[in-house]
């Protein structure tokens, strides 16, 4: 029996129209648009590079293309221009020196449908973006972060106690640490040691975001007109995923927000960023302002928790694989701090090797290997190549931090690359994983402080090594990230033991409070 394909007509006809429109636009190119596009894989007739765009570990493919075509690569799919940036020079020139052109965000249909565009990080460059970023910046600028140091150290000390008790659960302890820090800072909320509902909501929300922006995960991101078709239509099941995510995000933002409002009404005097914002803003008379504040607080928590946790997992991975780096860092801590106390932020300037370890953790396995896409607001020309307005721009962080000219032996974990011959830090202090230009991560200073505190405190009291199997042989570790927007090291075993009885007693001597 012949099978009818009539149900495909609503998809096929609009697709053909999009392709034809693209052909017409190409034919009408004038002026600077007659210049060639940057080099890249050869496009196919009508569909361009639709089937060339990688759907798994895209940063590896783009890095490989960079060696074939150059620092900037152009691809196109059904009229959508995409520019991949594989070098620091190109990223600096385009995303920073020409920030007025390259600071927009592209419209990703699934992000909009699922309402993950509530965050200013995904909003187009404009007045609402400026308002929300300004509000965020007031509490997370560099000189505001010392206000949160006591919270960060308290949570770090609790983390050390947890590691001492059950070192085999280090991944769970890392998640508890990163969640506990940011929840205490933003909401004044003390999380439960396990299965905290607020933490689970944020993790589910970030996981949904990772799915939304994964290349090839949803056909609607390639064929935007599909968003106007009903959910029962074949291939349109994404609508249900979007609806579920909308409900999830509403709970993620609203429940902790209401917790702070209730605490304030009840006279509970607990410091929090959200509490300080609410004291200065009459949200009861402005639902729009309440929504903006709720959105800003929500992204402060969700984004910080995930990236901090994944970066600390990379640190544990690196230390287990490189005991020589552990020994050098511990020697420095012993010489500067001694065995009787734990590091504090005032010690940071006196610990150059530990700082080099900190920088190398971010460089070696960047947990956001492909930065969130930028978009061009107008036509541009770069080194004789035409870049149209509306081009999606992908900074390939992975390729940049593994550029052999910038970082020789880039696959090797080598903190010394950040030190001069005299053992002091060089000027290469920038963490490229935080992004570029006006779209650089607004929460980077809080994240840096949180990660630094955990790194030096752990090194002060623990030894790290590969775990052993039943025969006493090392269990090998693979230094590989998961294929997600925020990557995590693949599961690995790690031996974590107190450096000495003195270190054990130091950890045990810390006050037994709720961490």
Q: What tokens were used for 266?
A: 């009840």
Kindly report the number of other CB atoms within 10 A of residue 105's CB atom.
Answer: 21
Quick one: residue 216, left, alpha or beta (phi over 0 = left, psi -120 to 50 = alpha)? left
Given a cut of 50, whether residue 27 has pLDDT beyond it is: no
Radius of gyration of the chain from its Cα atoms, rounded to whole angstroms:
25
Instruction: Note the pLDDT tens digit of each residue in 216-255.
Output: 778 898 888 999 999 999 889 999 999 999 999 999 999 9
**What is the phi/psi pair of residue 45, to 5°?**
-60, 130
**Residue 383: how many CA atoms within 13 Å on its side-chain side?**
10
Rounded CA gap, 304 and 122, in Å?
15
Binned at pLDDT 50, 70 and 90, residue 14 comes out as low
pLDDT at 89: 97
pLDDT digits (tens, 9 = 90+) for 467-502: 999 888 999 999 999 998 889 999 999 999 999 999
pLDDT at 92 over 90: yes
Q: If we measure between CA atoms, which residue out of 110, 359, 75 comes closest to residue 214?
A: 110
The CA–CA distances, whole Å, from 27 to 30, 80, 92, 163, 191 equal: 9, 16, 32, 64, 59
Among the listed residues 269, 424, 274, the one whose alpha carbon sits nearest the alpha carbon of residue 349: 424
Q: Please state the rounded mean pLDDT for residues 164-170.
A: 96
Report whether pLDDT(4) > 60: no
* Secondary-structure percent of the chain, ordered helix, strand, coil, rounded to 5: 55, 10, 35
**pLDDT of 314 strictly over 50:** yes
Model confidence, pTM: 0.91
Instruction: Answer yes or no: is pLDDT of 332 > 90.
Output: yes
Q: What is the pLDDT of residue 394?
A: 96
Over residues 161-171, mean pLDDT = 96
Average pLDDT over all residues of the chain: 89
Comparison of pLDDT for 302 and 175, the residue scoring more? 175
The answer to whether 494 is annotated as binding is no
Confidence at residue 204, expressed as pLDDT on a 0 to 100 scale = 87
Of all residues in the chain, what percent carry a pLDDT higher than 70?
Answer: 92
Strands 72-77 and 80-85 turn out to be antiparallel
The whole-angstrom separation of Cα 460 and Cα 452 is 12
Please state, in angstroms and rounded to a whole number, the distance separating the CA atoms of residues 204 and 241. Answer: 13
pLDDT band for position 18 (50/70/90)?
low
Quote the pLDDT of residue 121.
86
CA-to-CA distance for 270 and 225, rounded, in angstroms? 48
At residue 242, the pLDDT reads 94
DSSP 298-353: HHHHHHHHHHHHHHHHHHHHHHHH-HHHHHHHHHHHHHHT-SSS---GGGGGG-HH
CA distance from start to end of the chain:
67
pLDDT band at residue 370, thresholds of 50, 70 and 90?
very high
Does the structure show a pLDDT above 80 at 310? yes
Task: Tell me which residue of 514, 399, 469 sits closest to 91, measured CA to CA.
Answer: 399
For residue 31, what pLDDT band results from cuts at 50, 70 and 90? low
Full set of structural domains in the chain with CATH: 6-508 (1.10.630.10)
Mean pLDDT of 332-357: 96
Residues 6+ apart with CB under 8 A from 396: 59, 62, 63, 66, 84, 85, 86, 369, 370, 371
Confidence of residue 28 (pLDDT cuts 50, 70, 90): low
Q: What is the pLDDT of residue 459?
A: 98
- In the predicted model, what is the mean pLDDT of residues 181-188? 93
Extract the tokens encoding 276. 């300080």
């Amino acid at each position: 029996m012949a099978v009818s394909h009539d149900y495909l007509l609503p998809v096929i006809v609009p697709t053909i129209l999009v392709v034809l429109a693209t052909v017409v636009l190409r034919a009408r190119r004038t002026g600077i648009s007659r210049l060639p596009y940057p080099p890249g894989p050869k496009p196919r007739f009508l569909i361009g590079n639709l089937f060339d765009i990688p759907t798994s570990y895209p940063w590896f493919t783009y890095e490989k293309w960079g060696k074939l075509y150059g620092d900037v690569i152009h691809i196109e799919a059904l009229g959508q221009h995409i520019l991949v940036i594989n070098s620091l020079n190109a990223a600096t020139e385009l995303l920073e020196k020409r920030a007025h052109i390259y600071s927009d965000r592209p419209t990703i249909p699934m992000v909009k449908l699922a309402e993950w565009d509530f965050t200013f990080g995904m909003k187009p460059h404009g007045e609402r973006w400026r308002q929300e970023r300004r509000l965020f910046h007031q509490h997370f600028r560099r000189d505001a972060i010392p206000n949160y140091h006591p919270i960060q150290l308290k949570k770090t000390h609790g983390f050390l106690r947890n590691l001492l008790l059950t070192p085999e659960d280090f991944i769970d302890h890392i998640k508890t640490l990163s969640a506990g820090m940011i929840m205490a800072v933003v909401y004044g909320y003390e999380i439960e040691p396990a299965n905290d509902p607020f933490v689970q909501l944020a993790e589910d929300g970030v996981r949904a975001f990772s799915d939304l922006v994964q290349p090839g995960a949803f056909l609607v991101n390639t064929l935007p007109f599909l968003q106007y078709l009903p959910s029962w239509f074949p291939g349109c099941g994404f609508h249900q995923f979007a609806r579920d995510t909308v409900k999830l995000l509403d709970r993620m933002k609203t429940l902790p927000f209401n917790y702070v409002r209730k605490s304030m009404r009840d006279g509970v005097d607990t410091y929090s960023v959200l509490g300080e914002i609410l004291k200065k803003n009459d949200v009861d008379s402005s639902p729009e302002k309440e929504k903006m504040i709720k959105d800003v607080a929500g992204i402060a928590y969700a984004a910080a928790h995930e990236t901090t946790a994944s970066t600390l997992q990379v640190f544990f991975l690196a230390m287990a694989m490189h005991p020589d780096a552990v020994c050098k860092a511990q020697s420095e801590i012993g010489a500067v701090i001694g065995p009787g106390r734990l590091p504090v932020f005032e010690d940071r300037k006196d610990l150059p090797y530990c700082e080099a370890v900190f920088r190398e953790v971010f460089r070696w396995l960047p947990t956001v290997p492909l930065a969130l896409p930028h978009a061009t607001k107008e036509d541009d020309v770069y080194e004789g190549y035409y870049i149209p307005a509306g081009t999606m721009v992908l900074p390939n962080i992975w390729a940049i931090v593994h550029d052999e000219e910038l970082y020789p032996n880039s696959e090797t974990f080598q903190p010394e690359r950040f030190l001069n011959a005299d053992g002091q830090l060089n000027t290469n202090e920038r963490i490229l994983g935080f992004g570029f230009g006006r779209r650089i991560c607004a929460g980077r200073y809080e994240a840096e402080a949180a990660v630094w505190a955990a790194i030096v405190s752990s090194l002060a009291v623990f030894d790290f090594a590969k775990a052993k199997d039943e025969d006493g042989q090392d269990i090998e570790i693979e230094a590989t990230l998961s294929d997600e927007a925020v990557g995590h090291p693949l599961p690995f075993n790690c031996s974590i033991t107190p450096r000495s009885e003195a270190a054990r007693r130091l950890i045990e001597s810390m006050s037994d409070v709720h961490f």
